[in-house]
Amino acid sequence: MLKEFKQFLLRGNVVDLAVGVVIGAAFGTVVTALVADFLTPLIAAVAKAPNFSGLSFTINHSNFMYGQFINTIISFILVAAAVFFFVVKPMNILIEHTHKKEAPIDPTTRKCPQCLSDIPIDAKRCAQCTQLVD
């Protein structure tokens, strides 16, 4: 049983997943810092309202803190935008440049309208059925 457990731990997928989780957590910290230290103050400079947590309303002595919800939504949108524009978009461009597709090759054959065999494009007569082709 211990041998199987050792094989499981040393399998590549487990190690890759562990590295991915650690890198993801570190990257999450970087993105959170970018949003908190750069993007949120930028919005505060433009909108003159950096924090909505004080906004609330009361119904039957129940206090609804909708301002904190607005802060959370704004934070989510900023994190998603930061991830998209600083990670996803550059990676897509990098992948696109590394996987450049070659231009399609011009066809050298066409189908005979009579027998549907392949014939050279410049042929005037089909070699299979001897039909004249346009």
CA atoms within 13 A on the CB side of 115: 12
Query: Cα(45)–Cα(134) distance, rounded to whole angstroms?
Result: 71
Structural domain spans, the chain: 2-98, 103-134
Neighbours of 104 (CB within 10 A): 6
In tens, the pLDDT along 72-118 reads 787 788 778 877 888 889 988 988 888 777 767 778 899 998 888 99
Please answer whether residues 35 and 78 qualify as being in contact, where contact means their C-beta atoms are separated by less than 8 angstroms.
yes
Please give the CATH number for the structural domain made up of 2-98.
1.10.1200.120
What the block records as the tokens of 110 is: 């066409």
How far apart are the two ends of the chain, measured CA to CA in Å?
74
The pLDDT of residue 89 is 92
In tens, the pLDDT along 11-53 reads 767 777 887 888 888 887 887 787 778 777 787 788 776 667 7
The pLDDT of residue 3 is 86
Neighbours of 110 (CB within 10 A): 13
